[in-house]
Every structure is written in C-alpha cells, then in structure tokens.
Amino acid sequence: MTSQEIRQKFLDYFKSKDHLIVPSAPIVLKDDPTLMFSNSGMTQFKDFFLGYKTPTAPRIADTQKCLRVSGKHNDLDDVGRDTYHHTMFEMLGNWSFGDYFKKDAIAFAWELLTEVYGIPKENLYVTIFEGDASENLDRDQDAYDYWKSVISEDRIINGNKKDNFWEMGASGPCGPCSEIHIDLRTPEEKAKVSGLDLVNNDHPQVVEVWNLVFMEFNRKADGSLEKLPAQHVDTGMGFERLCMALQGKSSNYDTDVFTPLIAKVEELSGKKYTGILEDEKDIAIRVVVDHIRAVSFAIADGQLPSNGGAGYVIRRILRRGISYSYRFLDMKEPFLFQLVAVLQEQMGTFFPELKKQGKLVTEVIKSEEESFLRTIETGLIRVEKLIQQTISEGKKVLPTQEVFELYDTYGFPDDLTRIIAEEKGLTIDEAGFELALSEQKQRSKKDSASKVYDWVVLEEKPETFVGYDQIETETYITRYRKVENKDGEFYQVVLSNSPFYPEGGGQIGDKGVLENATESFEVLETKKENGLIISLINGLPKDAGAVFYAKVNANERKNSQANHSVTHLLHEALREVLGTHVEQKGSYVGPDYLRFDFSHFSKMTDEELALIEEKVNAKIKENIALQEFRNIPIQEAIDKGAMALFGEKYGDSVRMIQFGSSKELCGGTHVKSTSEIGHFKINSESSAAAGIRRIEAISGDKSEEYFKGLEKQITELSQLLKSKDVVRSIEKLIEENAALKSEVDALKKEKAKGEIGDWKGAYEQKGDKLLLVKKTSLDAGSVKDIVFQLKKEIPTSITIILSDADGKPMITVGVSDDLAGIYQAGALIKELAKEIQGGGGGNPGFATAGGKNLDGLENAYQKALNI
C-alpha cells in the first residue's frame, strides 16, 4: 500500500463507524497562549475536552499535522539519528466526545490494524496503565479486560505513569492510555529476544504505533487532578510509523513518505543515501528531508521564519537542515527550496495549502538559505581569526566567550566551530559553553517567567461577549485566578458579560476599567484562552462576587476598529492593483497604527502606493455601511464571496464582515460605516520576509494628527524662510549651497596642491626606504587624493597621514607598489588604529581607519615612527 492509500483507508474505516471526517487544523496556533504549534492530534479539540465548546459531532476522525520541537514534547535533537523521530509528522486520530469509551476504542483499533491493514496479530503488543499510588490512581483494569478478549494476556504489559498516563502539558486534559506496539524484526531476531523485553526500550524496530488515550481528568495548575465533565477518547497513530510497518520497512525514511525527497537530495548533492544510522552523510539527508516538511507546512500555514517566538523555532529548524547539508553534503549553495516541489507532489492533494502557497514557501526558504549561508561564510572568517589568535598565544582551547558569541550573536553553529577547531588540533571549553548557554536560557526564562494559579470559580455560568454592540455593561466575575510575573501580582478575571474584545485576528485586546461604587480596577489587557475571555486587572476586589460595571477605553477602541476596518479595504485594494496573488500574511491592529503583511514578490512603486491610498480613501468617502453576518454557516459565507485566510482555523459557523465589495471572515471589531475611518495614510512599505511585503499605515485620530503636524511644519518653515512659497525658497537655498560647495572644493584642491609640494620634501630616509609621518587638518577626500599621488610619485615609500579634520581622528596609510610585498597598509593601520580606539581596513597598498580618541593621534604618530 502506498502512503496515500494507508491514510485514506484509515479515514474510510472510521467514516464507516459513523465518525465525521474533519480536515487538519493549521500546524501553527495563532490564538492559543499555551502552545505555539499543534503538537498532537488533540490540540484542535482541547476546548471540547474541557467543556468550553460543544463538539461538532460526538465522533470525529482526522489526520493532524503536528510539530514537536519545543517544551515537554521535543524531538528535534533525535531527528536524523534514528529511524522514527520527526519534527513534523502526521497523527491519525479518532475521537469520541462523551460517546464511546475504552471498549469500542480498543475494538476499533484492533479491527483496523489486524483486519483492514492485515498486520499479523503475533507482531503486536499492548500496554496499559499500571496505576500510581502517589496520585491515587488505580490500575486500568477495564482496559486490561477489554484487551484480553482479543489478544493473549502475555502480550499485555503494565506501563508506568511516564509511558501510560498521557498529558498534553503541565496542565490540561489527561488520562490513562493504552499503547499498541509493533515488532518489525525478522523471525530470527524474534527467536533470540522476545518483543516483550523490547517494548518502550527505544528499539528502532519495536515501536509504538498507536496510543489510545482515555481522557478522564484535567490537570490543574497546582498539580491536582479533577474529573472532566465527560469521558472522552483521544487516539493518535503515527502515520509515518504505520507506513513503515505496512510497507515492510525497517525505517520510516525507507517508506514512500520520504523516498521521493531523499531521491531529490541524492540528485542535487551527488551523495548516495545508504540508510546507515551512524553515517554523518545519511544523518544529514534524514535531517534535511524531515526538516523541509516541517518548515514548508509552517510557512504554508502562515508562520514565517523570524528572530522571535514561533518564527524563531521555524528558523532554527531550517538552519539546522542547512548546517547539516553544508557540513556533510558539501552543499555550499541554496538547494533545500528545490525540495518543495517534490513535497507538493507527494502531499499537495491531501494538504492543498502546499500547492496554494507553493511559490511563497519556495521563495522564503531560498531567501533563508542564502542569508544563513552568508552567516556561515562570515562565521568561518571569524573562527579562523579566533583560531590564529589562540595558536599565536600558545593555547589549545578556544576562548569560551568568543565561541559563545559566535553562536549566540552571529548564529554560527557551535558544532561547526568545534569541528574546525579539532581540525587545527584545538578544542572548545565544552563545560564553559554549556554554562554560558544555560545562563542565557535562564535569563530568557526569568524575563518571561510567570506563575499562573488555579481558577477560583464563583459561578458556573456561560460567559458572553457583548463587545460588538456595547462598550459598557453591568457584569459580575464568574471566575478569577492570580498571576505573578516580573512586573508584580495581577489577577485574571472572566466576566459574565464582557465588552472587552480579546486579542485575536491581529487586533490587540481592549483595555479599560472594571469598577463598582467602592472599587475601581484598571483592565490592562484582554485575551482569549480555551474559549474564555480573560481580562487582566491590577488587583483583587474585596468582594469578588459583587456587581461591577465594565467600561472599554472608548477612544482606543474607536481607533483600533478604524484601523481594523481599513485593513479590509487595504487588502481589497492591494488585490485590485497588484493582482489576486496577494493574500494577507499577518497583521497588527492597534489604536496608534496598523501593520499589514501580504504576499507579493517585488517592492511596490510610488505610483502603486499612491493608487492604493487613493482607492482606500475613495471607499472611506463613500461612507459604505457595515454589513455584519454573525454565526452564519461557513459555506454560506464562502458562497457569498468571503475571503478565508490560509493558516486560520474556522468553525462551522463564522462571522462575515462586508464593506461593499470587501468581504472577509473576521472576528474583530469594526466601524459602523467607512466614513468613521477618517483618512488613510501609508507611512512605509518594506520587506517583511522573502515574498512578503509590509505596509505600515495610520487612520482616524492619528491620521488627523499627522496632517496637523505637517501643517505646523510648513508654517514654521514659512516663518524661517520669510516666504509663503516654501518650495521655491528651498530650491533657492539648494542652488546657493551647491555654488558655495563648489567654491569650497576648489579652495581645498588649491590648498592640497600646496601641501603636496611641502610633503614631498618631508620624507625621511629610513634604511633603503622613505617614510613620511605627517599631521594635518585636511578632510578625508583631500588626504586620500594626496596619498594616492605620493605613493605613485615617490618610489620605495610609506606615507602615514594623521588627520583631525572636523574634530575626528583619522589615519591614512599608503605603501608604494614596490614595497607592497614587504609592508601591508592594512596591517599597519590595524596597529595604529588601536591608539585612537578605532578600526578600519583596506588593501595592501592603501588603508584608512577612523576612531573615537582624538588625543590618541600623538601616540599613533610616535608608534608610526617606531614601526
């Protein structure tokens, strides 16, 4: 069976068992404060397990794109070094939300594996949770009893809490689980050692293939367990491992999930993949084909590589792949981007985002490769200098601080530094490097550390967002919890009726006030977590159960929603002017300005920007009324022409915002008519990433302030110039300045001519060569012209000029061509520049250096004579 057939059989089987088949959620999580990426199949269903949302159906099946590279579930360091760990992987899953439980979950799994897929029963083992006294958790006897009806009891293994109690993270839904393991060894190997002894012992051919999680509990922040409102089933079967088992392979990388990618790497690199675990070339190929999948899916789902957050994780994965290919495949030019087309061919049918976003994914990866390869080349020069310095000092260990700086500041791989050092008979201080890395991580953790306590629930009632219609309302607190971070102690509250918009869709969360007759608290931010609208306040009310009045900061809301509405008009205008390839790739909407990222592959012209502004402002002047469609079926919205953004997860019911011909799915707050936006003004257009342009703009009050500021500037200029015709007055000043500059240049040249004659006669004989060390106040241009002339006219000469022009120290060195093999201008300038606390460079015949210490010119003068 091909991998495509294996995936389809899974979905068809569960469809026959009355499961609703749903698409994978995006691999990137944009509105979940607890996770950057989907790290398991259950992530998109978390709210169902917690009881915050009603499931779409009681039975669901899917295949979910997952990424495990940070936090508790981190497989990155294992990738490439074994046959079955991956960063990005598919998780086949079937789900029951308060419907069937252990009995049916076990029956379905057994039937699918042994009858549909035809896996021999004698190759399978199962584990159950043995219990844990410290948590007062009993052995999972129910699971044991159900398993023994289909499998021999000697193939049922007790598992500890680490292996058989599944938890999503430090808190959240959890429960006992039952794993299914498959023994893929040869009959001869099985005869020597029983598979029972190899289960959960990291054997590459006795691997877990499916995990049946029985969700019964919620792990609270204090570590305690509480029963979930209903019992659920959450299963996850590793698609890549399943393909390995069904295709009779001993490695995931030998299946058709990876072989087309490996073949392309072989073609591009000229290296042959042999599948040897310890072979560095083969490790590199496995790293590359794994990492290209993770990066491609992340970019297709809207996460671009960057220097922070989720973007940094994606950049780190990509750079790991580039580093391995550079070191072990001798790939010194970008090539990973050429693998995207192969991935599209393999997976584009089932995951259409790969085809839809293919050009963008390819361009971004190529740009990142070019950038990082430049970083490597620059780093190699730095490493070489560091090695020469270490050798010259008679040492054998590279200095720790410099090695860490190469890694931390310049992004140069530490293992590459290690390899180069070893080739020169040197080492790095491993313990010192690890200490520096640990200290940096601790600093980072400290800066972002926060402690979140458990919720104190005052009333179990549904919370309602009323902010689309009201910015003030009477309300009460249904639950609260304490939060501690570096800024102090705060409280998060959930309100029965909240007018505060929670951060999402690019729009920042509302601020405001929560008050009653006796107390008032500032609402510092509002976010959404697990379906709850959470506002952060700067204290805890004495009577948390009292009635409060919630008020949004009206001015900030007005400007934020003006900026949000104008992004919709901007998006439409960009597509009209540049083409329908334009798609939103990110945004920021606040009260002060808006930022809009979009797919486009060239810098916009001034004419295009002017046309965009014109089109948007025309729509503003039309005073187009908002048409809002709340809770309409998503297909109905699409049929109406609404634009759905790739990388966003939409529910069955959506909210559609329409301003005339502009129609988008959006949960943000908006103006009632476009005239409320006031005026739209683009401040800048720039590159956000390869294939991504960024517009920053203003509207509303800020736009009005901008034009008032311009008016004030013009008035002040008129007064300074004593003319109302500001443009003509400035043109006249420019003309006068140009004439004066010509006069000054002519005077400088005359002065330089006079200096040349004096300087020619000032050379001193030093052995068989001539030396001139001269102080001057001439400008840099004049000095350069003179030195070039002198080093041509005066053979066997060295010319060193020290200038204090404009109060800044500068040193210039010229070496005549006949001495270039003996003296190097660059080497001389390096020594002399130390005296003025500066640096510079050049070529063997000419070099310059600027500095900070003007007084150091005297020392430089003496040093030049001594040298």
Q: Is 679 annotated for ligand binding?
A: no
Return all residues near 588 (Cβ < 8 A) that are at least 6 apart: 506, 508, 594, 595
Q: How far is CA 189 from CA 127, 194, 248, in A?
A: 22, 9, 15
Contact (Cβ atoms closer than 8 angstroms) between residue 110 and residue 182: no
**CA angle, 241 as apex, 235 and 247 as ends, to 5°?**
125
Which of 352, 238, 309, 235 has the alpha carbon at shortest distance from 29?
309
Tokens of 195: 């598979």
Indicate the length of the chain as a whole number: 867
Nearest in space to 395 (alpha carbons), one of 419, 429, 420, 418: 429
* 3-class SS letters over 578-595: HCCCCCEEEEEECCCCEE
Is residue 393 classed exposed, middle or buried when 0-12, 13-18 and 19+ CB atoms within 10 A define those classes? exposed
DSSP state of 603: P
Question: Taking the CA atoms of the chain, what radius of gyration do you get in angstroms?
Answer: 34
CA atoms within 13 A on the CB side of 689: 24
Give the C-alpha separation, 431 to 182, whole Å.
Answer: 40
Helices and strands (DSSP H and E) totals, the chain:
24, 36
CB contact at 8 A, 376 and 415: no
Q: What are the contacts of 737-740 at 24+ separation with CB within 8 A?
A: none
Amino acid at 800: I
Amino acid at 182: I
Q: Across the chain, which distance is largest between two alpha carbons, in Å?
A: 108
Contact 685, 609 (CB under 8 A): yes
- Known binder of ligand: residue 670? yes
- Other CB atoms closer than 10 Å to residue 267's CB: what's the count? 10
Characterize the bridge pairing of strands 769-776 and 797-803.
parallel
Residues 589 and 465: their CA atoms lie apart, in Å, by 20
377 half-sphere exposure, CB direction, 13 A CA radius = 9
Give binding residues for Zn(2+) as ranges. Answer: 564, 568, 666, 670
Give binding residues as ranges. Answer: 564, 568, 666, 670
